Structure 1
């Protein structure tokens, strides 16, 4: 009977070598398997990244773009469609954004023809008619539709940065309040991109409902209030790329500032904007141009108000002079009637009304003269002459009133004798 195999020393060595080779082979195979698994995982991840991103707004976008063409001729029509189609504000603003970004192509040949001072109506009508526009057209169109759809919105103007370099032409975008929160919208950058001198339509949702802290990395408003940040970024910090929150700065309540801004007159709004632009730093020709234009607007506004004031003074003077002239003519008509011994006959109230009308005219003239404040030298002399005329005629009017009161107090038989006491002459002549 054969017992267990007996291994000599050389057999042990062979067995060890055999086992070692087997383990090494297994190890290599396992390593290859692990590498293959990792490679497949990476390829799978890359495939996922390469696949089109899911558009969370697809349903809203589809409805928004179904708007009848007849309603796209005006912002009123577009706003009506969006309002009736999307009851929720967040859906409505998406509908507006996708319509503008999809239907308006960037007007590349006119990309440098930015004119912030063109009327808002012209900026809106151009893209509606041509389906082309530049940033100011995109922004004003989006903004106007939002406002008419019941969504609070503003056009924001400033400059931008791309790939670390600040652009040398200004830009316009929008700040819009959606469900009580302010977001930034750039329908221009959100509509596509320019490459090789050609515009490519491609919706970029980064510029839809962007939070202010993100947009400030590339978009700098001229007026820091429109950053919608509690610690605004200065112009120099924007250039340096230092746009992170810095709480060592003074706190700025942009919400309260905007509420206060909305209550200001147009002139006060411009003055406040000019101060903020200067405080934040004028670092380029774009900011300088904007600041200078605001100052020109303020000067034009001052002149316009001064002209309005002067016109008001002239109108007051002319009206006062007219009242005075009518009063003098009516007083002389009364004197002539009295010299004719009140013939043809009138009732006592009718006679009294003649002088009452004169007094009313003179009082109106005095009141209007008193409203003329700080007249220019040319008008001062004319006002002085008119004031002198009114002051001189009032005692004569009072004299006539007293005589008439006495006349009415007498019996009819005694009244006639009063006409022979004195013959009254006319009072002067009206002013030219």
Structure 2
């Protein structure tokens, strides 16, 4: 039954009984944002001609916007934490891994950054890119930055693995880049 049919008293001509309980049970199993989104979609589909339904539709759209904004902010927060952790690692690497940490502690540094990046990406999934004017560019920007940092993290993960697989006596040599001439002669 549409809103117009309800207000005019013109009920549907379909005489079969509908079994609503299964639809209600399915609706109750949805997450809060899925409930808001589906109700807003149905209201928009069947019309918001009355002031009450129009106000309720606007309320649902604002709740939906708040939810997606929180997800975007959470994604940005996780990304910022990933950058902080990455910078801690880089500072530690620049000091040639001093003060001393155990191999297990060093091995955990890059996976922690990767986990934060995954959290950042997971927050953005499911957000419609057009829910606000600025969301599209923000989502593209954060995805680009996450990919850039992921490539740096992958490179540093290789270094950490090489560092941990090297005997302790030869580890300091890994911090120095050796440049050679075209003929393979080391440059001093």
Give yes or no for TM over 0.5: yes
In structure 2, the partner of 1:327 is 82
In structure 1, the partner of 2:63 is 308
SS at match of 2:134: helix
1:222-264 Cα shifts (integer Å, max 9, x gaps): 7577xxxxxx9xxxxxxxxxxxxxxxxx6724xx34x428945
SS at match of 1:377: coil
Higher-Rg member (1/2): 1
CA 1:416–1:252: 2 relative to 1, 3 Å: same
Report the Cα offset of residue 321 of structure 1.
0.7
2:171 to 415, 420, 423: 415
In structure 1, the partner of 2:73 is 318
Counterparts of 1:16-415 in structure 2, within 5 Å, are 223=9, 252-253=15-16, 256-257=17-18, 259-260=19-20, 263=23, 267=39, 295-373=50-128, 374-415=130-171
In structure 1, the partner of 2:182 is none
1:256-308 Cα shifts (integer Å, max 9, x gaps): 34x4289456959x97xx89xxxxxxxxxxxxxxx96xx33332332222222
- Equivalents in 2 of 1:334, 1:390: separation in Å? 17
Gaps of 5+ in 2: 1-6, 28-34, 179-188
SS at match of 1:421: coil
- Equivalents in 2 of 1:406, 1:381: separation in Å? 38
Report the Cα offset of residue 310 of structure 1.
1.5
Report the Cα offset of residue 327 of structure 1.
0.5
Give the TM-score of the pair, scaled to structure 2: 0.69
RMSD value, Cα: 3.2
In terms of fraction of residues, the more strand-rich structure is 1
In structure 1, the partner of 2:185 is none
Gaps of 5+ in 1: 1-220, 226-231, 233-249, 276-290, 423-432
